[in-house]
Every structure is written in C-alpha cells, then in structure tokens.
Structure 1
Amino acid sequence: MTDQSLPLARRLLVPYWLTLPMAIGLAIVLFWLLMVVLAPVVAPYDPLELVGRRLQPPSWQHWLGTDALGRDVLSRTLFGALHSIPIAVIVVVLAVSFGALLGALSGYIGGLFGSAIMRLVDVTLSFPPMLLAMAVAASLGPGLENAAIAMVIVWWPVYARLMRAQVLEVREREHVEAAIAAGASRPRILFKHILPLCWTPILISATMDLGQVILLAASLSFIGLGATPPTPEWGSMISDGAQQFYSWWVAFGPGVAILTVVLGFNFIGDGLHDYLDPRSE
C-alpha cells in the first residue's frame, strides 16, 4: 500500500473527526446516558434501602461498600446519573436558549436595547460563578430545581456574549448585505441569514459546559444547597463521604462518576471543535 493511500484507507475505516479522545468521550458519556435509563435495572440494590451494616468496605456483596446508613454505594452512584445528567442538560438548554436569543437581539438591533443587555451581562459575569450560584441557591432554598435556576442565571450571560460576538461578525458579510439590498425583513435576515452561521461556537461551548454544570451542581449539593437527602446525587454523596475520613469508598464512586463525565464531555467538545472549526485543520 502506498503512502498516498494510507489516509484514504484510514478514512474508510474510521471517520476523520473521530479521534481517540473523542471516541473515549463518546464511550464515557454513552455509558452514563445508559445509566440514566437503565439504572433501576442494573443497580444491584435500591439506592434508599438499608442493605448491609454501616460503612462496610468493598466486598463481593457491595462492590463499592456501604455508606454511613448501610446503603449500597454502587447503586447510589448509578442512580446519581438520574439526577445529575438530566439537570445539566436542562440547565444548558435553558441557558443557551435564553442567552443566545438575547445575545442575537443585542448584536443585531444594537442601540439602547443592546447596550442594556450587555451591561446586564457584564454585571452578572463580574461575580465568580460559584459565588453567584451559591447566593441565588441560598436565597431560593435547597433543592435541585432551585439549584438549576441558580445555574441558568450563572450561565446564560456566557452564551449571550458569545452569540452577540458571532452576530456582529456575520452581519457584516456580503450575503447579509445582499439580503438587505433585496428588501428582506429584519427578522428574516436575522433568523435565516445570520443565526444559522453562528451556532458552531455555541454548540462546542455547550457540550463542554455540560460537564462544568454537573460539577457546579455537585458543588452546590456538597454544601447543602442542591439535592436534599436521601436523594442519591453525586455531590451530596461526596459530602457524606467527607464526613467519614477513613471510609474512603463512600466518596470514591461518585467522585469517579463526576471525573469521568466531565472528562467525557470535554473530550467530545474538543472533537467537535476539530470537526466544526475549519481553522483547526
């Protein structure tokens, strides 16, 4: 086989965008997405049931041991995907929808409206994300729903600023000027000629932010502002494990779960960047 035929043969066997890190990321995320659906089937025990003695180390009966109440840590870790991943998806979808819309209108309309939106964005982004999420969640009270609201408030300005920058760049292109000269309406120009070309960085950022939202949700639960007991959520499980210094297995399972999910979404985001951004080639 000649050297010139090697790239072609490789592309026939493996898509050129499917790098090893992205394949690993897809496998990790697919596994946890399956757990969202199949956790009640594959988990060996009920996550709320007291199935053994308290703080039992890993054994054949309990692969990741039991917690301070005698609940199976492996089962609670698998069920944790039911709470952590859907919340992250909902938060990112809402933040993208709200932030991208306001950012697009700010960049296209401009004027006093655009300035007001961006000043609101600047004020929100001036606070550290964790501190702002803690303040909002504390004012609303503990609970995953309130934590999700807090995280949407933290994340929407990121997408508003990113979308505005994209709209400002695309609206100066020749095809937009041609649409204006042809008499197209402003909504048609925005939604048909500008926005379809602005979603690449939004998609990449949203994919990578899924892992960061899971991490922030776990942090809020860790300090008591997220999921409330006895919900099997990864952050609250790590909080329980932090109180049992010598029982390392209590926090090991949820810690590995958070680590792998964040890495998986980051790998996928990097792969999407390589695939969708022509400047990366």
Structure 2
Amino acid sequence: MSEVAGRRHQISLPQWATLPVVVGGFIVMAWIIIGLTVPLWAPYDPTMLAGRRFVPPGAEHWLGTDALGRDVFTRTLYGVRHSLPIAAAVIASAVVIGCTLGAIAGFVGGIVDEAIMRLVDVTLSFPAILLAMAVTAALGPGLANAAIAMIIVWWPIYARLMRAQVLAVREREHVEAAIASGATPSRVLFKHILPLCWSPIIVNATMDFGQVILLAASLSFIGLGAVPPTPEWGQMISDGALHFYRWWIAAGPGIAILTIVLGFNFLGDGLRDYLDPRSP
C-alpha cells in the first residue's frame, strides 16, 4: 500500500522537461541575471587598468589580466551586457521583418509572392558570415552596424519559414469556412492563420539567439564588431589570439560563448517538444 501511495504522489513531469532543458534554462537565466546585476558586484572596472599585465589566474584575478592589465573575469561578465541585447535586437527585428513579408507572400501569392521570395533567395544564396562581413565592412566597424548586417542575414530565414506555415494553414477547413462566410482577408489572416503559425517561429528564434551571439563574436574577432575597449567576447578572444601562451585571456570569453550557445540550444529543443502538437 505504501508503494502505491508513493506512486500516486509522484510528480509527473512532461516529456519535454528533460535535463538538457532544465540545464539550458538555468544557464540562460544565470547569464541574464549576471548581465543585469554585474555592475553592482563586479570586482573591477572592465575598461580600466586593474594591475600588472599578463597576471595568470589567481586569488586576486580569477581569470588573470590581459595585455593592458585589465581583469579578464570582470570583462567576461560585462561581455554579456553587449552580446545578449544585440542578439535580442537582431532576432526581434528579423522576426518582425521576415514574418511580415513571409505572411504577405504566402497569403497574397502571385507576383507579390514571387518578388518577395526571389529577394529571399538572393539573400540566402550568400554564406551568412560573408554577407555579414561585407555589410559591416561597408557600414564601418561597430556593434550597431554589425547588428544591421545580422538583421539582413537573418530576416530571409523567418520570411521563408512564415511563408511555409501560412501556405500550410490556409488550406485547412476552418480557413476555407471563414472565407466562405465572408470574413475579410485581414481577419482571415490575423485571426485564423497567423495564430497557428508561431510555434516554429518561437523555437527557431530561441535557437538562433546562440547563433547570433556566435556571429557577433566572429565579427568582433576580425575587427568588424565591437570597438576597443568595449568588453565584448569576440574582441577579447581576438586579443587572446595575439598572446597565445597567455591562454586565460581567451579562455573566459570562450567558455562564456560556449555555455550561452549551449543554453539556448537546449532551451530551443525543449520548446520544440513542448510546442509540437504531436508530442504527448
């Protein structure tokens, strides 16, 4: 009897609430909290000299100091205050632009669809990193220009995804019934089609957060993103590459990028399982 009662009181978690999802959510929330609170407790100023150059990790400097004597641990923590807002701005802008154009293409069809999708095809024909590099080089280095370049790279992905969702949903019976009942095109689109199209968009956006952070770091690494002395992870790894034997300069930001990208990927996998209507 006690065993049966114990089974009844067990908490059954949904299938999507797996260990990777919990770990991913914890990592993302931890970085968000660090970004919001780091100015209150960081041991040093991220842009000012904290001591001697190339001090190895120790009790005073947990991740050592860089070529200018700045504390690497502090700069790594401050790096999330640049990476996460840039990623959020890029994803939000790409979703708004891409989903708007994709919904119009899929719902209107005809020459409008052809024009939008040919623009999407032309943009996607370039490798993402090369297109981002070309746009950023034309606009000039800086995080704002890098964000514009990444928006140009990412919006076609959401345009194509939204178009595919609209084309699939518009053939359903409830949409045909709404059209037959005399509903206006805008009502059909916003009330009967778009609410059923957002699940893959949300999942894709969550997983793209990590990819945007990685691309932003790549642009900064080659000198097209953050401008010194901004504590940005890609810029810090670039500084570490100049002093290869001082491994700690690049280790901190490298681990930060690794953890936050894995966190968003784990979280995106969980959201995909949760939002999939075929999952139990």
* TM-score, normalised via structure 2 length: 0.97
Matches of 1:63 and 1:52 in 2, distance apart? 13
Aligned to 1:44: 43
Residue 99 of structure 1 corresponds to which residue in structure 2? Answer: 98
Q: Determine the structure 2 residue equivalent to 1:25.
A: 24
Deviation at 1:39, TM superposition (A): 1.2
Look up the equivalent residue of 2:250 and give its one-letter code.
A
Identity %: 68
Classify the secondary structure of the residue corresponding to 1:278. coil
1:146-225 aligned within 5 A: 146-225=145-224
Task: Give the letter aligned to residue 174 of structure 1.
Answer: E
Tell me the equivalent position of 2:237: 238
Question: Does structure 1 residue 10 correspond to structure 2 residue 11?
Answer: yes
Report the alpha carbon displacement of residue 143 of structure 1 after superposing the two structures with TM. 0.3
1:73-128: per-residue Cα shift (whole Å, max 9, x none)?
A: 00000000100011001100000010001000000000101100000000000000
Q: Which runs of structure 1 show a deviation greater than 6 angstroms over 4 or more consecutive aligned residues?
A: none
Contact 1:218 1:234 in 2 (8 A): yes
Equivalent position SS for 2:11: helix
Give the counterpart letter for 1:52 in structure 2: G
Structure 1: how far apart are the matches of 2:265 and 2:151? 20
Alignment check: 8 A CA contact 1:273 1:280 kept: no
Shift of 1:41: 1.4
Gaps in structure 1 of 5+ consecutive residues: none
Unaligned runs of 5+ residues in structure 2 are none
Shift of 1:18: 1.8
Deviation at 1:49, TM superposition (A): 1.2
Instruction: Write the deviation string for residues 38-86 of structure 1: whole angstroms up to 9, x where unpaired.
Output: 1111211000110111011001000000000000000000000100011
CA distance in 2, matches of 1:58, 1:131: 36
Secondary structure of the 2:156 match is helix
Inter-partner Cα distance in structure 2 for 1:2 and 1:119: 62
Q: CA deviation at 1:35?
A: 1.4
Residue-pair matches, total:
278
Matched, 1:74 2:70: no
CA shift for structure 1 position 17:
3.1
